[in-house]
């Protein structure tokens, strides 16, 4: 499982880094000047394609991770909703990321960038699907693993508690829809969450721990 989360993170970072290098800077926030957004989209087609490819590639191993984590939790005897929440959250997070990448790719088309109203709408959609949608549902995936990890001692307690904190921050990003100033929480929750999934994937056992082993982990 850990390699899947690692691949997802590497692909996402690769797309971001190449996009930033090709554009000479990061994409502006959608709440900014319409002229600035239009200029960025019109002048940086290659950067948008790189970002779209990396993001889309990242969404695939994330979906596989969610399915694998859910199956692993069920094999470990987790009959509570955690396994289903992890699956639903992971698939939704992957879908949000994929939709964001496809709208980013659409923004790279010269025939689209000539329409200012369409660019603005697609830009908002890119931000919302790859931002709040992806991060909030990523929090569900993390919580779906961390909660049984804590209750049944499937992983070290500090790791489980860290996962719950990250999941809580991810859910708080819903407030970005009301207060755009909270936007920095999105990358914070996204990248710490993916790193946590790598750690959790490496630590999640293949079999249920007995009482003595679980006590030792606490």
59-117 confidence digits (pLDDT tens): 999 999 999 999 999 888 887 788 899 999 999 999 999 999 999 999 888 888 778 88
Domain that holds residue 98: 2-208
pLDDT band at 210 (very low <50, low <70, confident <90, very high): low
- Residue 59 in any domain: the answer is yes
Contact predicate 9/195, CB 8 Å: yes
- Residue 155 in any domain: the answer is yes
Q: How many CB atoms lie within 10 A of CB 137?
A: 23
pLDDT at 171: 96
- Residue 158 in any domain: the answer is yes
pLDDT at 94: 96
pLDDT band at 209 (very low <50, low <70, confident <90, very high): low
- Residue 214 in any domain: the answer is no
What average pLDDT does the chain have? 88
pTM of the model: 0.88
Counted domains in the chain: 1
- Residue 17 in any domain: the answer is yes
């Amino acid at each position: 499982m850990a390699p899947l989360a690692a691949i997802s993170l590497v692909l996402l970072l690769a797309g971001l880094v190449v996009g930033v290098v090709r554009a000479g800077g990061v994409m502006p926030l959608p709440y900014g000047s319409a002229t600035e957004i239009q200029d960025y989209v019109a002048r940086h087609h290659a950067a948008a394609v790189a970002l779209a490819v990396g993001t889309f590639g990242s969404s695939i191993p994330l979906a596989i991770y969610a399915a694998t984590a859910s199956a692993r939790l069920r094999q470990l005897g987790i009959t509570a909703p955690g396994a289903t929440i992890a699956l639903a959250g992971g698939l939704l997070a992957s879908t949000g990321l994929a939709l964001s990448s496809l709208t980013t790719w659409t923004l790279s088309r010269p025939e689209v960038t000539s329409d200012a109203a369409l660019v603005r709408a697609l830009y908002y959609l890119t931000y919302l699907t790859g931002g709040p949608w992806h991060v909030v549902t990523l929090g569900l995936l993390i919580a779906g693993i961390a909660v049984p990890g804590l209750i049944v001692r499937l992983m070290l307690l500090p790791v489980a508690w860290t996962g719950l904190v990250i999941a809580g921050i991810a859910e708080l990003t819903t407030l970005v829809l009301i207060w755009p100033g909270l936007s920095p929480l999105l990358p914070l929750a996204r990248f710490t969450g993916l790193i946590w999934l790598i750690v959790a994937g490496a630590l999640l056992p293949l079999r249920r721990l007995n009482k003595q082993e679980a006590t030792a982990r606490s």
